[in-house]
Structure 1
Amino acid sequence: MPKRQDTEASRVRRIPAAEPLAPSPPPPRTRHRRFRWWAGLLTVVAVVWSLRGTDVGLGSLVQGREGAARLLTGLVPPDLSEPMLRMVAQAAFETLQISIAALFLGALMGLPLAVLIAGNVRGPRWLSSSARVTAAFLRGVPELLWALLFVATVGLGPAAGVYAVSLHAAGLLAKLCSEQLEAVDPAPVEAMRLTGASRHATMLLAILPQARNGIVSILLYQWECNIRSSAIIGFVGAGGIGQALGISLRLFRYEELATLLVAVLILILGVDRISRGLRSRMGAATR
């Protein structure tokens, strides 16, 4: 009996001591709360730093009150003479032509890039990377810089505006439409692949039908953006209503400027109305 007790006691002594437990990581909710706190703090610091660095505030507005008053009083009443209205109508039609032509060329370049960039299409890696870099370069260069380059190459006029706006639009459409393609329901896509469908068939029959409405909405919105862009690039001689705006500003003809601004607003509202009508025809919820 004593020997058996000694054996059991030795077994008990052989049991290794428990190692100290490592501190458990904080729960996910605590980590998210810390991340939100630090993100909010960095956002506030960035905003304050930007406002102070750009001298934005009531002081700069007060200093420019005389110029603002002179500009606002000069806009009223707008110039509604017949020659002015005829010139504004011609410039507005030219702006509309620039926006439509740029949308067509931009979609012609941007949509194939979007298909190559979309991850669920599973294109060749080297081709997808090249398309992504190309789209980033096209949208990274502002329309105004593209317009300056094309004015220097093809000369003044609406053609330079079309080329400038279409290149920038192609980069934007490639990014936004690729995101629409990637956001589709993956179940039909995987079902098509399980049946042995090719990459092209999966794209045409499973991915594109789901993303069609979203892509059309992006194209219509890009058309509206093209009108605004064509009004800006006209300041460097790329045609359209922007060219007339630039001339009126340089010559301090504020009555003409008011008429041109109203024409730009009418163009944008008209395109927005057409866009809403087309989207409602496609089943989108609009008011």
Structure 2
Amino acid sequence: MNPRTGSFPANPSQDAVDERDDGKERLPTDLNQEPPGGGRAAVRYRRSKTRWLVLVIAIAAVVWSLDGTGVSFASLIEGWDNAREILAGLFPPQTDEELLRSVGKAVVETLQISIAALFFGTVMGLLLALLMAGNIGAPKWISLPARWVATVFRSVPELLWALVFVAAVGLGPAAGVYAISLHAAGLLAKLVSEQLEAVDVAPVEAVRLTGATRLATAVLAIVPQARNNIASLVLYQWECNIRSSAIIGFVGAGGIGQALGISMRLFRYEELATLMIALLLLVLVVDQISRFLRRRMGAATR
């Protein structure tokens, strides 16, 4: 008798069906049927198998790369005598007045290169990022070329850009500014566009429902949410510009890197040590300024 209807079921197995309908999992009556939870176990097994496969491939890639590049402790031991000779030549650093005056001039030039390149790179990078971000909604005939341009800018290293501009405008810091600006613009375009696309969609949709245009939606709902992260990226790019200016100086693009290249080619190791210390101090100062500005913007720095 069915307790809910007060009648006998037409089918003798109705009670059993009702009991199975109470929402509880029971072992299957068919031995060939997969037990409850078997699907989840299979998924976990496949995921575990995939992780082990990825780990094996990664280890094999590292071993293959080390073998192909000839990296080993033996090579370091063989080159220790040359390294010791260079390190010994770095001490004590040269500190005569004329050298310090020239080092100070190179440091100032490096700082100028980094700031000017940051300005041009940020302007171009933010413009490209606004055109690239999917939630901004720029037409494809604009967003796709912007993405291609940003890819070209960041794919070419600053050193190669510096060679191009040294050949175009001649030796000096102007070539360094142009070279770093293009690479910084491509990098910022990618990173900033990803920050714009990662914002909360609720405020964006709320502004769009008011009938706001794409530009107004970007200015009022998208950019304000990503503002702090964008500022942090720009400040980090400034630190990168300092280091990049030291590298492109080796090809005559001005700054402290150019002085470093001359000292290394002439084997003036004591002068080289002074330049390296000056570059280190410059990077540390810029890092502290960056941390201070990020702290003022609410970043959790210590």
1:79-228 to 2 correspondences below 5 Å:
79-228=94-243
Matching residue of 1:42: 57
Give 1:202's aligned amino acid. Answer: T
C-alpha distance in 2 between matches for 1:272 and 1:71: 28
Matching residue of 2:26: none
Give 1:128's aligned amino acid. Answer: S
C-alpha distance in 2 between matches for 1:262 and 1:47: 34
Matching residue of 2:278: 263
Q: 1:233 aligns with which of 230, 235, 248?
A: 248
Give 1:187's aligned amino acid. Answer: A
Unaligned runs of 5+ in 2: 1-31
Give 1:94's aligned amino acid. Answer: E
Offset, 1:41: 1.0
The Cα offsets for residues 72-119 of structure 1, whole Å up to 9 and x where unpaired, read as 000110001111100100000000000000000001111010111111
Q: Does 1:70 align with 2:88?
A: no
Q: 2:296 aligns with which of 265, 281, 287?
A: 281
Deviation above 4 Å: which 4+ runs of structure 1? 20-26
The Cα offsets for residues 166-212 of structure 1, whole Å up to 9 and x where unpaired, read as 00000000011111111111111111122221111110000000000
- Which one has more relative contact order, counting CA pairs under 8 Å at least 6 apart? 1
Offset, 1:24: 6.8
Aligned residues: 269
Structure 2 length as normaliser, TM-score?
0.86
Matching residue of 2:20: none
Offset, 1:70: 0.4
C-alpha distance in 2 between matches for 1:154 and 1:49: 43
Q: Does 1:249 align with 2:247?
A: no
C-alpha distance in 2 between matches for 1:192 and 1:66: 67
Structure-2 change in CA distance of 1:29 and 1:126 (3 Å): farther
C-alpha distance in 1 between matches for 2:153 and 2:42: 44
